[in-house]
Amino acid sequence: MGYLKTTVLMAAMTALFMGVGYLLAGLGGAMAALAAAAAVNAYAWWNSDRMILRMHNAQLVPPGDRLGLHALTAELSRNAGLPEPKVYLIDTPQPNAFATGRNPANAAVAVTSGLMRSLSREELAGVIAHELAHIRNHDTAIMTVTATFAGAISILANFALFFGGSRERLGLIGTLLMMFLAPLAAALVQMAISRTREYAADKAGAEICGEPLWLASALEKIAVGAARIDNHAAERNPATAHMFIVNPLHIHKHDHLFATHPSTENRIAALRDMAVRSRGVAPRSGQRSAVNNRLSSTHATKRSGPWS
């Protein structure tokens, strides 16, 4: 169902882009817009990972790192049936992570120094498994394409006043409305796709690491950290916010139209339900699972060294 919804939303994004081109310059404009979108997306598809990693000043983590980040990623990659992605570290105190890359063979996982300091090994495994799920589901490519479409629609709409055809078809008021409504519609579709893919990655990530409650516990801590600690690189590049496991800019309480991520509370509830179903029994009211208790008891202490 998630893939069907994503397909429908991607088709809507393409139709919106062509529609703006048509309103600007007729049928020829629609075809030109489609050709331009194909060219821009091809460029973004090949280069987006390097651009995004540079935006966040991500540093490549060498194999055999003493904190075992490569070893953990390699183990989870085998569980997911994926080649091991490159691993990067972002020096920011906010706990967060994202995946990027055009396909599983050219993928990267980036985690922040704040994440490394905040989570236990089990919780870190849940986060990396979630990012590997995005890679396996080709979400990194999907989100690159939707972000490129959204940006291109905004640029086209801002050119509307310079095209006589749009004023003849819509009039001045209609043209001004299109300049505002087309980018808004594109942003809403992009956000809806992002929310859909996060739920799917939570489920697949829990299956990859073998324990939904590891990711649920990690999401709780990341949400608290993201709410109170600034991520300056993300603030400078808000178009990349949808890539992170939790919104690095602000926390949304509900799955409303303008949210780039689902409600963290809803995601945690879904993961806990998944854990209950996998065990076949429901925990008693007011009690935490044995695994969740173990996560709390093994919470990592503050690490020193290059990740500090």
Contacts 24+ apart (CB under 8 A), 125-128: 125/72, 125/76, 125/209, 125/214, 126/205, 126/206, 126/209, 126/211, 126/214, 126/215, 126/216, 126/217, 126/218, 127/97, 127/205, 127/215, 127/218, 127/222, 127/245, 128/72, 128/73, 128/76, 128/97, 128/209
Which pTM was predicted? 0.74
The C-alpha atoms of residue 150 and residue 277 are separated, in whole angstroms, by 38
* pLDDT single digits (tens) 190-235: 677 777 889 999 999 999 999 999 999 999 999 999 999 999 998 8
* 46-70 pLDDT, tens digit each: 777 888 899 899 999 998 888 899 9
Catalytic residue among 84, 122, 123, 131: 131
Q: For all residues of the chain together, what is the average pLDDT?
A: 78
Residue 265 annotated to the active site: no
| Each residue's pLDDT tens digit, 240-296 | 888 899 999 865 444 555 566 888 999 999 999 999 998 764 443 333 343 344 334
| pLDDT tens, position by position, 141-152 | 887 777 777 777
Residue 168 Cα to chain centre, angstroms: 40
Q: Which pLDDT score, from 0 to 100, does residue 18 have?
A: 74
